[in-house]
């Protein structure tokens, strides 16, 4: 059965902040397909017309970022659906909300929020800071010495909901892009201990508090999070705590001797330490221990853990491949062909492909400048 995707129902050329032109195409809403449980083959290929810098799960598939903007690809077909760009202005940030229904772009100090399904611009403003996203708000964090200023805005309309500064007597020195479901987690260093606070996303009021334990120095009190917002890991204290940001409940405790927890796309992983060859395993949340991944055809593959399968992606002089579980490699061809085009920004060294679980496909790409994007199903 072939699904017909309706694309690009509007094309706009408007003037953005500071007089910068904006190119915006939008698409009709479409159904969101599930992520394939166990992908087995290549379903589609799409060649990026410009150097590719990032791939993010959004709406009905993924968005791919180039020098000045993003293009949305349908996860089922690989067909471009919509595009947003500021020609001549460098794209400096790209994030999607945990539910994939909002996209936040940064062009220097200008933040723009788009509808993830249609690409329709919602609002744009000249604001600054590192973004933490829930499904309904964007929290912009700006460091000011040992403290931080945070400003929450509504993702739908851009109105300011609340603002705060670091708790008196505490320090906050880390601000990385984050995702969270249901509450805004804030890690602070207070009198030699890391304290994690869960703030109400709409009001900024503290809903829960967790003493994560002693840590030194203050800069080590930080967070990393899963892109679907369901887990955050508190860095600094020992053991590392994996916390549900909705409730503050500790889901797992990972001793430093076991490795370093990795959150991002898919289920949690763990980086195994003190090894001659770097390795990543799956993480058992019930015990906090590492579960070795199946053998891969290369050292240090990219690893994506899905509920029913472990995917490992490799790149070498012969091309790129993905191994699903213990099955044979799926040949992807060459994801970074040399076609004579300039490398663009930034000039990256070859690396293993990225794996993104998206509606309709597990998407694979290499961000090495000249890129082919592949959908597995």
pLDDT for 273-298, tens place per residue? 766 666 899 999 988 889 988 888 88
List, for residues 175-224, the tens digit of each pLDDT value: 889 999 989 999 999 989 999 999 999 999 999 999 999 987 655 678 99
**13 pLDDT exceeds 50?**
no
**What is the pTM for the complete model shown?**
0.90
Whether 361 and 376 have beta carbons less than 8 Å apart is answered as yes
Distance of CA 300 to the CA centre of its chain: 20
Domains detected in the chain: 129-226+228-263 (2.130.10.10)
256 backbone dihedrals φ, ψ, rounded to 5°:
-60, -30
Q: Between 272 and 208, where is the model more confident? A: 208
Comparison of pLDDT for 370 and 62, the residue scoring more: 62
177, 184, 307, 317 from 293: Cα distances, Å:
28, 32, 13, 24
Dist. CA 78–CA 196, nearest whole Å: 40
Which pLDDT belongs to residue 146? 87
Q: Is the peptide bond before 239 cis (omega within 30 degrees of 0)?
A: yes
Question: Which among 330, 223, 264, 244 is positioned nearest to 56, based on CA atoms?
Answer: 264
Whether the upstream peptide bond of residue 217 has omega within 30° of 0, thus cis, is yes
Rounded Cα distance between 277 and 272, Å, is 9
Query: Percentage of the chain with pLDDT > 70?
Result: 87
């Amino acid at each position: 059965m072939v699904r017909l995707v309706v694309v690009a129902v509007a094309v706009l050329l408007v003037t953005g902040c500071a007089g910068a032109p904006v190119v915006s195409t939008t698409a009709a809403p479409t159904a969101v397909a599930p992520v394939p449980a166990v992908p087995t083959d290549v379903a589609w290929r799409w060649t990026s017309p410009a150097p590719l810098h990032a791939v993010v799960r959004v709406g009905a598939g993924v968005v791919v970022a180039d020098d000045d903007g993003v293009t949305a690809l349908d996860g089922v077909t690989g067909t471009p659906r919509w595009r947003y760009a500021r020609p001549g202005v460098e794209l400096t940030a790209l994030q999607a909300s945990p539910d994939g229904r909002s996209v936040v772009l940064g062009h220097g100090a200008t933040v723009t929020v788009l509808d993830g399904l249609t690409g329709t611009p919602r609002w744009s403003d000249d604001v600054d800071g590192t973004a933490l996203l829930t499904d309904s708000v964007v929290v912009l964090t700006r460091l000011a010495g040992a403290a931080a200023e945070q400003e929450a805005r509504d993702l739908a309309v851009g109105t300011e909901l609340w603002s705060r500064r670091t708790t008196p007597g505490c320090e906050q020195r880390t601000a990385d892009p984050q995702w969270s479901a249901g509450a805004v987690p804030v890690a602070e260093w207070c009198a030699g201990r890391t304290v994690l606070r869960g703030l109400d996303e709409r009001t900024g009021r503290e809903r829960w508090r967790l003493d994560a334990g002693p840590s030194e120095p203050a800069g080590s009190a930080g967070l990393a999070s899963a892109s679907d917002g369901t887990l955050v890991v508190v860095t600094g204290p020992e053991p590392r705590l994996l916390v549900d940001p909705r409730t503050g409940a500790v889901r797992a405790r990972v001793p430093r001797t076991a490795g370093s927890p990795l959150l991002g796309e898919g289920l949690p992983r763990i980086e195994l330490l003190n090894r001659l060859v770097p390795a990543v395993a799956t993480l058992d949340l019930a015990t906090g221990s590492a579960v070795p991944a199946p053998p891969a055809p290369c050292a240090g593959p990219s690893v994506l853990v899905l509920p029913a399968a472990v995917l490992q992606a490799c790149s070498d002089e012969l091309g790129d491949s993905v191994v699903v579980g213990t099955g044979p490699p799926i040949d992807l061809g060459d994801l970074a062909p040399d076609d004579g085009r300039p490398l663009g920004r930034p000039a990256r060294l070859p690396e293993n492909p990225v794996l993104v679980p998206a509606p309709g496909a597990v998407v694979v790409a290499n961000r090495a400048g000249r890129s082919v994007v592949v959908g597995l199903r």
